[in-house]
Structures are given as C-alpha cells and as structure tokens.
Chain A
Amino acid sequence: MTPSSKGISLSREAWQRLQSHHLAMLSLLFIVVIALACCLAPLLSSIAPETQAAWFHTQAPFSTRPAVKALNHWQLGEASPIEYQNYQKLLIDVQRRDYEDIRVVKREGLIFKIQLIEGAMPLTSFEINQDSHAVYAILRNGQIGQPLPNMTFQLGMIAPAELFLAHQEVAFLRKYQSKNAVDQYLIKQANGKVVEIKNNDQTLSELKLKGSQVQRIQADTVELLITHYLGTDELGRDLYSRILHGGRISILVGLVATLVSLLIGVSVGALSGYLGGKTDRLIMSSVDILYAIPFMFLVILLLVNFGRNLIMLFFALGAVQWLTMSRIIRTQIMSIKQLPYVDAARLCGANSFQIIFHHLLPNCTGTILIYTTLTVPMVIMEESFLSFIGLNVQFQGRSLDSWGTLIFQGMQALGSNGENAWLLIFPAITMGVMLLSLNILGDGLRDAFDPKLRDKD
C-alpha cells in the first residue's frame, strides 16, 4: 500500500494500467494528433479546402503553383488584393495569349501530319526558330514543357527525336507570335495600395489576370508559391486541406452522434435497469422493435425527408446507436443494483435519484467509456457510408465534405491506370488510422478497466 494518505481511485488505477498498454497509448497519440490537426486545420493549411484552381487539374503530391487566385485584379490607386498588400513590388510573369497550337503526327518513324489545331488547317512544313518565335512542347497534362531546339521539319521526313516523347505518336507544340512566351508585369505598391502598373515600358491603369495565365509571381525578392503536399484533385483543390477540413466534419459527426446516443442510451438503460419489472420489459420490447427496423434505410429516409443538415445527421445516427448502448447499460445497472453497497445506501436513506447518480452510474463509467470509444468509429464509418452513397452533409446549401466524400471522389478520380491513386490513398489512410486507433484504444480501455478479463485469455 502506498504510504501517501491520498487514495488511488479506480479510474486513476485504470489510467495507470492503460499507460502500460503501449499500443493503446500509441493509438491515443494518433487520435489526439489527428483530432488536433483537424481542429487547427485553418492554421495548418493556408489554402481553403474549397479554393479551386481548375486550370491546375489533378496534380501529384508536392507539386507547386504560383500563389494566385482564379481572377486577380489590380487598379491604380486602389488597394491591392489582400494577400499581396505587404509587399512593395510584384513581378508577374504572364503567359502570352497570342499563340497557335500545332499537332504533329508520326507514323512508322516518319512525319505523317502537321496541323494547326485551330481550324485543323494542314501544314506541309514547320520551322522552329527560337530567336523570332518561342516554341514549346505541350505536356500530356496540358502544362508547358521545355523550349524546343531550332529545327525545320516537313511531311515525310524522319521524325526528330526531340519532338516526340518516348512511345508517343503525337506531339503538341505551342508557337508564340513573339520571341518571349511570357509578358512581365511590374506592380509597385505602397501601404497596400497600387502605385504603378507597368508592362515592359508601358504604364497601365489596371491589370486583370486569370490564374491560369500566371506563370510565376515574385514579391520583393521571394517567389510566391503554393505547395500541394498531398496533391490536388481534378478541380485543383488542395487534398491536404480537404482531408483536414473533412476530418472536422467526420470527427464532429462521430462525437456529437455518439454523445446523442450516450445521452439517450444511458438514460433509457439506467431507467429500465433500475426500475425493472414491467417498465423494464416495456422499454426493452420497444428497443427490440426498433432494432428490427433496417436502420440505414431509416437514416436515409430521415435525411432525404428532412434535409441533409448536420443536426439531422447527429440525430439520425445517434437515434440509431443508442439501442445497443441502452442494452449494455441496462445489464450493467441490473447487476450492480443487486450489490450490497446499493442496499447499504438505501438503508442510509438515499432516494432513487441519489442511488442512480452516486452508486449505479459511477460504477458504469468504465463500460460507458469503452463503449463510447467503440461507438465513435462506428458512427464515423456510417457517416462515411452516407457520404459515399452521395448523402453528404449540407450546410447553407453548400455540401460539407467529410472523409467519406473524399474517399468517394478519390475513387471516381482514380483514372484508368490508377495514376491518381493518391486522391484515394491519403483520405483512406487517414480515416483508417483514426478508426483503427479508436478501436485499439477501446480494447486497451477494456483491459484497463477490467484487468481480470486480460488475465483470463
């Protein structure tokens, strides 16, 4: 026995036992890290999850792009867009729009066709002279590739190797009307206001730029770049940010629906178990009847009928989960209420309320905690299922993406050869780790609260 006069309560002892369960502690760490990251999502990711960069398309993890919006507007004398207000000087490289795209088709090693894409006008020969017109290769994803070396080719000639990528039969080229493929704009700012806009030597009064045109943006001396750590989806939305923000919805639904089920389940279970007799049979029969209803069907009906808002989802999922909780609590209460200390409390003059709240429920905390930890992943899974079948939550008409939605969209965007696999893998891993950790933690808690159970197996 410890020499200190303060006793060690059962909960503290359980916590100490849990600490020696390394796997459960690791799971707890994962849960805390993921949950914290989701809570602090706006701090951890500078890009809002709904920000689109459609021109950017699906990009692999760690790809970067210039930090611009879809539409950017500078006007002399007016305030600069908020994200650039702290800089004195902006240098923006803009892709020129005066170009034509050319298609070159190779057949059996010879040039078979040269064609202007616009109007499908056939050409007989094509000259690349970087000193007068810049010519670039266009990559498969639509991005501009390397400038091509100077050369001239015509129909029937042996196809030059520089033109065609390995195993490709078709090459796309972009020919600009001038020597430079890009225009450079200079914007000078003072106190957040635009003082001067210059294109080469020309002074402009306003500048409107599409995000897709901007190739590079340099503020003072730094290049402004956005890095997509986990890549982007087909609308150019940042997957990292979307996973963090989706986690908020998933975890929120998991927690609140579990709390709803806890509240209903514990009250119904405690009441039924404590009163016993006819009341108990009545309540438990109703629970049995509710069990018989195919609950997913019920949830879907509720969501379709009453709208797909968050409150409805909490209620729908919670209203289903409480059944099991109430059964477990009822059984616990029934066995605890026969213990002598409950009789002793009754002899001491405790009323039913005091017996339930001082003696019965505190002795169920272990069970409640364990079952709660196991319900949260169940609810997260169910919400994901709903999102997966397209019944994701909506808020003010806007759909809120959860992990389930991301997995669903990732699966759709997988591509024919699975080349966009990261869109599916990252949300799935995050959700998998969270669910596994919650389940392991639940098991660890069970062992911690009931060490006899662990000794037996």
Chain B
Amino acid sequence: MTSKPSIVDIEHLSLSYRSRQSSHSALSAVSLNLKQGEALGLVGESGSGKSTLAHAIINLLPPQAHIESGKVRLFQQEGFKKRLFQGRDIAMIFQDPMSSLTPHLTIAAQMLEPMIHVKGMSLSQATQRALSLLGDVNIHQPEQVLKKYPHELSGGMCQRIMIAIALSAEPLLLIADEPTTALDVTTQATILHILKDLQLKHNMALLFVSHDLGVIHQVCDRVCVMHKGQIVEQGSTKDILKNPKQPYTKSLIASIPRLTGPKLDYLPSQELFNTPPHSKNPDAAPLLSVEQLCVSYSTPSLFGAKKFKTLNELSFNMVEGEILGIVGESGSGKSTLAKALCGLIPTDSGKVTYRSAPLKGIHPDLQMVFQDPSSSLNPRMTIGGNIAEALKYRQSLSSQDRRARCNQLLEQVNLPPEFYHRYPHELSGGQKQRVGIARALADSPKLLICDEPVSALDVSIQAQVLNLLKHLQRSLNISMIFITHDISVVRFIADRLIVMTQGSIVEIGATEQLLTNPQHDYTKSLLNSVPDINF
C-alpha cells in the first residue's frame, strides 16, 4: 500500500461559505489521503460537508466558498491548475444522471466529443472506444444507444453512460458524488457492481461520496465518516462497521434499519419509547378491503384521451390496528395507490370498502403523511396554521380550543410549543415531517397512509421519525399503510407486507415470513440488491 503513489493529499483543510452578512464553516481541519487504486468512501448526513470536500478537490467550489487554511495536493503537486486535470486525470459522476447529460444532443455526440477533443482521436477510433466502454458498463446494443437522446433512456442507463464518459479519458481519480441516490435499489446494485469492477480493472483511485453506509460498504475499502464539517473517524470499512469507536459513528450505524438480525421494536435513538403493540384480531372484519382496484392516468390529445394504466386490479385486506407495508420501486404505482385510497384521484373500477361501507371520495378517517416534508407544508402559513387546517374545516372549535389541541399535537410529535408561530422554512426536514404527522393526526384519523415519509430524511432523523410513527400508531391505536422503496425500513415497521411492481401486487404476506422466504422472483431480486451493512 505505502509504495503506491498518492493521488489526493488534503492537509488540515478549513473552508467556509461567506455571504454578505455572515460566514459559516463548512469544513474544519479536514485531512485525508487517497492512493492509486484505492476506493475511499465519504459518508455523512446532509450538511456534513462531504460534497463540499469532493468539490474542493476538483476546484468546482461556488464563489462564496473561501479556503481559510490548509492545502489540497493532487498527484503530489502543490495547488492545482484547474484546466490541466479536469477531464483527463480527474473525472466526476453526479447524483442526477438525467440532468448531467445535455438533453438535445445524442449520446454519441456527448460521448465522442471529449475523446476527439481531449485525446485527439479520429471519429472511427472514438466510436470504437465508445462502443467498448458501453460494453464495459453492461449496456446491450451499444450501437443503438449511441444514436438515442438521454430522455429515451432510463435513469440507470444514463448513469451508466455517465460512468462510461467519465472513464473514456482513463482518469487516475474518479469522484462519484451520490451516484446512486436517485436510482432504484436494483439499478443501484448494478451500478455499484460496475463501478467496483471498473475501479479494480483500471486501477483508479475512487472517491465515493454517499449518505448510505451500505452502499459505501459494497464499493470502498476505506471510509471517512464526516459530521458537521469534520472527519469523525476513518479506517477500513469493515473495522468501522464492526467496531465503531466514536459515539457519532456508533449512533449512525445503530440507527440504520437492518434487513437481517433480530427484529427491533424500536430503533436506538435519542427519544425512547416503550409502548407495547396492541393485540390484533386477524379474524375480525377487515378495516379496509380493496377489490380489483384499477386506476389510470389519461393524457388529453387532439382525438380523445390516451389512457395509461397505473394500477391493475389490486386486491388486499387490512385489519384494524395493523401496519401494512407496501414496497416497490419507483413507477410501481405505490403512490398512486395511496392517493386513490384517500380519494385524491378518481378510480376507474374496483371496490374499496372501509368498515363494511364503500369508500367514495375523501373520508375524514383517512389521513396522509407525504414524502417531501418541505413541500407538504404551506410555506405561507405558520406551523400552527398548518396543523389547525383539519380542525378549521371540519370541526367548529373555539380558537382557544384549537390552540390547545395544536399544542397537544405538537407535544405528541415531540416538538416544543414555541413552534406554533414559526414558519415551515425555519424548521429542519425532520421537524417538518413531524409537523406533517401532527397535521395528519389532528382530526383523529383511524387509518394513516404514509407515502415514503422517511425517504427524504437522513438516517438518524429517519430512525427518530420511524420510532415516532410506530409509537403513535401504538399509543393512539390507529392502523397504518406504510409505503416505501426501502425494504429494511419496511421490515422494521410493518406487520404485513405487499410487494408491488408495475401496478400489480406480486406478493402479500407477514413481513418476516415474506422476507425470509420470498416466493416471487421480483421479491427475490429486490432483496438481493439491497446493500446491507451486515456481512
């Protein structure tokens, strides 16, 4: 290891973002070293400075960023000549593959251009090389893909093409900034596989930035855990996952829901709950039963409307007091199902029965918690105003009673009562999601539908919100439909599980049973692609 040349050397780098009024520190005294052929993971929650560090290496910092002290040495040379390294010795892959490719140029134009200009290849040479690179990233029929435009390809394909473009210049250092965050689990697994293979094959140095320890574990030999602009701990990935030394790393690893190991009642986090689960009677009449539900979207065109089926004859039951998990990749129709059940979008055919009465339109007993906490609160209303929505329209409470109920709800979701007068943009993502939960609970619903409530949150916040949801479900004795793409999360929270793909249900069963003994191929491939930190 020591004989290999060092690619990146960072010594005590401190960096801050300055605006006219204030400056806040983004990195403080960060030191790290990356050698040739090594894969280094940078892991941390949002705002921990991991992306800033990655951008500092290739000098892509925004103008507000100001280096206070420290040095970045690339290829054992002082400082960096910006144009020299970019594109030839260093390549970067970004989070969103769709917006990294220019939409009005074909893949061929975007792939061949750097080869012709930087490497000075002829057109036929470049085409040959592009085809072999596309083969490297497991793209079938590369000749046809070259002629296509980015919007004709899936996100995973685009990311693979980005990797191929990045590799075309045979860089010594590849920086991947959350390259799989926007992708589905199965796609993610392929991409990670390709990245790891190519890294070994080309003997590149790889800097892999991610918030997901599981992903890092699959790709990287070494990992740096970042927190609030500092490297808290670094070492070999296995060591850190097995024996984390710092309390922050310990809590970070503990708060990740696991796919294997004992099923936890609550995830370890700051708030502690010990509400016991209610006993359920599986033979009782179902709370909600869905029969042959079909939903389609129609796009208006000049001659009539085109219809796209998004839900295809779904049928399932759920009993009172249970948590029903629905898992599936993006586009599988899980969010459509949530909206259809709530009555937010019309259904085509099928029957939904709630407490043995047909469910039509919006029912006060059904409430929803949304995915994106920032857009699910009205930014022009105070937190109090947002929570009081449900009380305002359906109940005739005096303003004092309404205020009292809001305070009670804030207390239930563990938020201080001062938040009543705050505005959504003053709160963090986790706090906003708590407000969203409080609003959903305001009208004492019987069935709470949570549509990916934690997928926009950091791992430690995710654990807190998951615990809170479980605790509320138990203490208020409500039923819950929990929609997510993350099987580990669903294992922690759900009693029963529905696996969906392309608008249909492929498997229903008790969570543990279904996960340990999956029947359908799709469930199996889903389970196999989850990057797990247990080994």
Asked if A and B bind, the verdict is yes
Q: Quick one: given A348-B389, A363-B378, are A340 and B370 in contact (CB under 8 Å)?
A: yes
Assess whether B393 is interfacial by the CB under 8 Å rule: yes
Cα of A36 to Cα of B42 in the assembled complex, Å: 60
Q: How far is the CB of B227 from chain A (nearest CB, A)?
A: 20
Assess whether B415 is interfacial by the CB under 8 Å rule: no
Task: Determine the interface band of chain B, counting residues with CB < 8 A from chain A.
Answer: 35 or more
**9-residue interface stretch from B284-292, B420-428, B504-512:** B420-428
Cα of A358 to Cα of B385 in the assembled complex, Å: 10
Measured between beta carbons, the chain A residues less than 8 angstroms from B336 are none
Cα of A344 to Cα of B386 in the assembled complex, Å: 10
Q: How far is the CB of A140 from chain B (nearest CB, A)?
A: 58
Cα of A9 to Cα of B339 in the assembled complex, Å: 30
Establish whether residues A354 and B393, one from each chain, have CB atoms under 8 Å apart when the complex forms: yes
Assess whether B282 is interfacial by the CB under 8 Å rule: no
Establish whether residues B393 and A350, one from each chain, have CB atoms under 8 Å apart when the complex forms: yes
Cα of A340 to Cα of B370 in the assembled complex, Å: 7
**9-residue interface stretch from B165-173, B359-367, B470-478:** B359-367
Assess whether A343 is interfacial by the CB under 8 Å rule: yes
Assess whether A71 is interfacial by the CB under 8 Å rule: no
Assess whether B371 is interfacial by the CB under 8 Å rule: yes
Partner of A10, one of B21, B339, B390, B425: B425
Interface residues of B in 370-422 (CB under 8 A from A): 370-372, 375-383, 386, 389-390, 392-394, 418, 420-422
Assess whether B486 is interfacial by the CB under 8 Å rule: no
Q: How far is the CB of A71 from chain B (nearest CB, A)?
A: 62
Measured between beta carbons, the chain B residues less than 8 angstroms from A339 are 375-376
Q: Mark A310-348, 1 if CB is under 8 A from B, else 0.
A: 000000000000000000000000000001110111111
Q: How far is the CB of B297 from chain A (nearest CB, A)?
A: 13
Establish whether residues A7 and B426, one from each chain, have CB atoms under 8 Å apart when the complex forms: yes
Q: Quick one: given A8-B426, A10-B380, A341-B378, are A349 and B394 in contact (CB under 8 Å)?
A: yes
Cα of A341 to Cα of B367 in the assembled complex, Å: 12
Q: Quick one: given A347-B368, A348-B393, are A5 and B380 in contact (CB under 8 Å)?
A: no
Assess whether A359 is interfacial by the CB under 8 Å rule: yes
B64: nearest residue on chain A (CB-CB)?
A455
Cα of A362 to Cα of B385 in the assembled complex, Å: 13
Cα of A363 to Cα of B424 in the assembled complex, Å: 13
Establish whether residues A9 and B368, one from each chain, have CB atoms under 8 Å apart when the complex forms: no
Measured between beta carbons, the chain B residues less than 8 angstroms from A343 are 339, 342, 344, 368, 370
Cα of A333 to Cα of B465 in the assembled complex, Å: 31
Cα of A108 to Cα of B436 in the assembled complex, Å: 99
Q: How far is the CB of B367 from chain A (nearest CB, A)?
A: 6
Establish whether residues A349 and B364, one from each chain, have CB atoms under 8 Å apart when the complex forms: yes
Assess whether B439 is interfacial by the CB under 8 Å rule: yes
Establish whether residues A341 and B375, one from each chain, have CB atoms under 8 Å apart when the complex forms: yes
Q: Quick one: given A1-B426, A349-B394, are A363 and B370 in contact (CB under 8 Å)?
A: no
Cα of A1 to Cα of B300 in the assembled complex, Å: 46
Cα of A10 to Cα of B374 in the assembled complex, Å: 14
Cα of A10 to Cα of B339 in the assembled complex, Å: 29
Cα of A203 to Cα of B416 in the assembled complex, Å: 92
Q: A341-B375, A350-B393 are in contact. List 18 more A-B contacts (CB 8 A).
A: A5-B420, A7-B382, A7-B422, A8-B426, A11-B380, A339-B375, A340-B371, A340-B372, A341-B377, A341-B386, A343-B342, A343-B370, A347-B440, A348-B439, A348-B442, A348-B443, A354-B393, A358-B378
Which 5 pairs of residues, A with B, have the shortest CB-CB distance?
Answer: A7-B422, A340-B376, A340-B370, A348-B390, A349-B393
On B, residues with C-beta under 8 Å from A are 20-21, 300, 339, 342, 344, 362, 364, 366-368, 370-372, 375-383, 386, 389-390, 392-394, 418, 420-423, 425-426, 436, 439-440, 442-443
**Would you give 12 A-B contacts (Cβ < 8 Å), ordered by A?**
A5-B420, A7-B382, A7-B383, A344-B439, A347-B344, A347-B390, A348-B389, A348-B390, A348-B392, A351-B393, A358-B378, A358-B381
